[in-house]
A = this chain, B = another copy of it.
Amino acid sequence: MPAQRRELRAQGRKTMRRLADAGLQVFAQRGYHESRVDDIVRVAKTSHGTFYLYFSNKEDLLRTLAIDCASEVEGLAAELGPIDSGSGGELALRDFLARFVSTYRRYGVVIRAWMEDQVSDRDIDRLGVRAFTKIATALGGRMEEAGLDPSQTQASAAALMAMIERSSYAITSRDLGVDDEAMVDSLAVLVHRGFFGASATQSRATGSRQ
């Protein structure tokens, strides 16, 4: 009888949270597959037995994290407003990217597990597909508003997502000498110009069409 999803009291919820946070941390450091349940319980300052009191297995922990992550990512999609070709659009884009990177800082492992197809579990996969479909759809819509030929929408949105996700990965996991700010700025300009029809001379700096 695998323990699970009972009503939890305060202490139980706290322990579960400790384990989830530890999972996020350990997965981020070592990668999901290389992470050991042992590491997780050590970080969470609890025991093996306790782990299986709250999660039926390692994958179940990832699934739990994936649910949280999906809801955060879908939130981003829902809140993505119009992006015009002017400096206002760039700012909106910048804001979106900053929030995405911040989500990635917390849930990078989950997103990578989705993008790099690290787990075979159907449920986890579905969560990722749905969340990223929403983001891609939102971005595609905004691009069409900005004048993109609809036949190109899908490919463009996919390409854009790849850029954003990999850049977030790079900034959060690889040791580059670049800080979030700088990288988000660069990316915003690039994306604005490449996907939302901003002209080369336009930028937050000038703020006006020329």
Contacts and interface: CB of A to CB of B under 8 A. Distances in A.
A173 B115 CA distance: 11
A187 interface: yes
Number of copies of chain A assembled together:
4
A167 interface: yes
Which of A156, A173, A174 has the most CB atoms of chain B within a 10 A radius of its CB?
A: A156
Q: Interface size class for chain A?
A: 20 to 34
Contact of A186 (B33, B152, B165): B152
Given A2-B38, A149-B200, A166-B166, 15 more contacts: A31-B117, A115-B166, A117-B173, A117-B174, A152-B189, A152-B190, A155-B183, A155-B186, A155-B190, A156-B190, A158-B167, A159-B187, A162-B162, A162-B167, A163-B163
Chain A interface secondary structure, helix, strand, loop or mixed?
Answer: helix
Contacts of A31: 117-118
Interface of A: 2, 31, 33-34, 38, 112, 115-118, 147, 149, 152, 155-156, 158-159, 162-163, 165-167, 170, 173-174, 183, 186-187, 189-190, 193-195, 200
